Structure 1
Amino acid sequence: MGGHGKVFTLAEVSQHNTRQDCWLIINGKVYNVTEFLEDHPGGDEVLLSGTGKDATDDFEDVGHSESARESMNKYYVGEIDISTIPERLTYTASKQPHYNQDKTTEFIVKLLQFLVPLAILGLAVGIRFYSKST
C-alpha cells in the first residue's frame, strides 16, 4: 500500500466509509481494510461500523490475536492527526443531592415506633374510660 508515513485528518479518513473504500483508525494508525472486508471473521458490517471514528476501543474489546495484529501491517496507509479527533466526553455526575431510600425508610420506622405505642396507649386509656362509664 502506498502512503506510508502520511498523516491524515479524521475528516479525510471519514470519507472512506463504504464497502468499496473502507479505512479504519486503530491505535493512531490508519488502515485501508477494503480488501479485507470479505475475509473478516466478524463480517464486513463490524469493520464498516468503525469508520469515521477512532475504532481502537472496538478493536481492543474483541481481543484480537497476535497474528491478527500482525496481519494489519499490510493494510497500513499512514498515521492519524490526533488533534483532529474530538476528545471523548466523560459522564459527570449531577451535583444534586440523591434521594436516599435508606434514610427515608429509617425516618418512617422511627416515626412508627413513636406513634404505634402512643396509639395503643390511647386506645387502652379510651377503652378503660369507656368501660368505667358503662
Structure 2
Amino acid sequence: MSEESGIKFYTLEDVKVHNGKGKGDSSVWIIYRDCVYDVTDYLEDHPGGGDLIMEHAGKNCTRAFDDFGHSSDAKRKLKEFKIGEIVEEQRKGAKKKTITVKTDPAEKPHQRSCFSIISCGFCG
C-alpha cells in the first residue's frame, strides 16, 4: 500500500488477503473499476445477501456488478465504502511495459530465397 495526495493505493495482493477468511482479520474488500472498497459492514445489509458479495471478496467484481445492472443508488452507496485505488501498473487496461531491443542497423536478418530452400539437398 502507498499513499499519494491523500489517496491510498493498494496492490491486487493487498486486496486478495481481505477475502473474509483471514486469521484475525475477516474484512471483505472488493475492487470495482480500479477502486478498492471495504464492504465488511455492508454484508448483512446487501439486498441480495452477503453471500453474493462474498463470491467476489478479495477480487475484482466490476463485470459482475455491471452485468447485474445495479442502480445509480447502489453505485452511490458503494462510494461510501471506498478506501483507496489500485496501483496504476495493476489497473485494468494499464499499458504493459515493453522491452525494446536495439539492433545494429547494419545487420540484416538472414533471409533465404525460395530457390535455396528448394534446392537445399535435404528435400526429396
* 1:14 alignment counterpart: 16
Structure number with greater Rg is 1
1:27 to 30, 33, 39: 33
Scaled by the length of structure 1, the TM-score of the pair is: 0.57
Q: Which consecutive unaligned segments of at least 5 residues does structure 1 have?
A: 88-134
Return the alpha-carbon distance in structure 1 between the equivalents of residues 80 and 90 of structure 2: 25
SS of the residue corresponding to residue 21 of structure 1 reads: coil
TM-score, normalising length from structure 2?
A: 0.61
Q: In structure 1, the residue corresponding to 2:79 is in which secondary structure?
A: helix
**Aligned counterparts of 1:42 and 1:82: Cα–Cα separation in 2:** 32
**Percent identity (aligned):** 36
Q: Secondary structure at the match of 2:28?
A: strand
The count of aligned residue pairs is 85
Q: Which runs of 5+ in 2 are unaligned?
A: 94-124
Match of 1:84 among 80, 84, 90: 90
Structure 1 vs Structure 2 CA RMSD:
2.1
Q: Deviations over 1:1-44 (max 9, x none)?
A: xx861010000001100173000000110000000000111111
TM-superposed CA distance for 1:53, in Å, is 2.4
More helix by share: 1
- CA distance, structure 2, for counterparts of residue 36 and residue 73 of structure 1: 12
1:82 deviation in Å? Answer: 4.9
